[in-house]
Structure 1
Amino acid sequence: MFKGCLVMAMAAAALVAASVVEADQGTATFYTPPYVPSSCHGYTNDGVMIAAASDAIWGNRAACDRKYKVTCTGATNQGDPHPCTGRSVVVKIVDYCPPGCHGTIDLSQEAFAIIANPDAGKVNIQFNQV
């Protein structure tokens, strides 16, 4: 009986551990309208909860239409030492942020404002595909 409970408890713990998703770390910047044309969809309007992927996640267009949950984790400079709002946002990748891009994910201005003060310009983030 005890042995069976122990096996069940270990299996449950393994299942919980396997379901925990490790978030990636990076930085976020933002870009402003107009948001078309985009690298993924041309002149299709994808709304404003969108982002452009840097080379770190672009994968030669493989990132198109992926959705990421993005959360601000802190400042990247002293301009705004506490830029985070404490909220997260889910964005869809619709564009490419070319070499020289200053962030891992370049959020739309509207998406960036949900997670951080736009005056910060660039923030540290954690993000994971959803």
Structure 2
Amino acid sequence: MSSASDPPLPAPSKWFEIEPLGPGAFVVRRTSVRMETSDIVMAYGPLLRWIAAVRPAGLLVDLRSAPGRNDDPYERAVAPHRKALLTRAERVAVLVGTPIGALQVQRHMREDGVDALVGHDEVALRAHALGDEGLESTG
């Protein structure tokens, strides 16, 4: 669980930005910059090392700006990094902008064996990442 002695937030990269959400929780925001297959290790490496060091209780992964990708070479290469991101916190929520985006993320999670809340209700997803289940909406 994160604490005051945690390493500082990593500098924003062209692919990811991280900001505090609340006690023990963070937002990982995917930028609109296209990630090539050759970029995956460089993009995810610092982020995953920081998350492993901090061990946050909650993550809100905001994919609304991420460009869509569904080509097989990219999917195979990113899968272990995506799974690592979505399994390193107690509570994970994934914020998407479209119903098709939600379906794609849910498919990835099924394939990866990941359990996270996916949707477009930012208030409910923030509440989930913070562990404040009483604020989550039901619809």
TM-score (norm 2): 0.24
Higher helix share: 2
- TM-score, length-normalised on structure 1? 0.25
Which one has a bigger Cα radius of gyration? Answer: 1
Structure number with greater CO (CA < 8 Å, separation at least 6) is 1
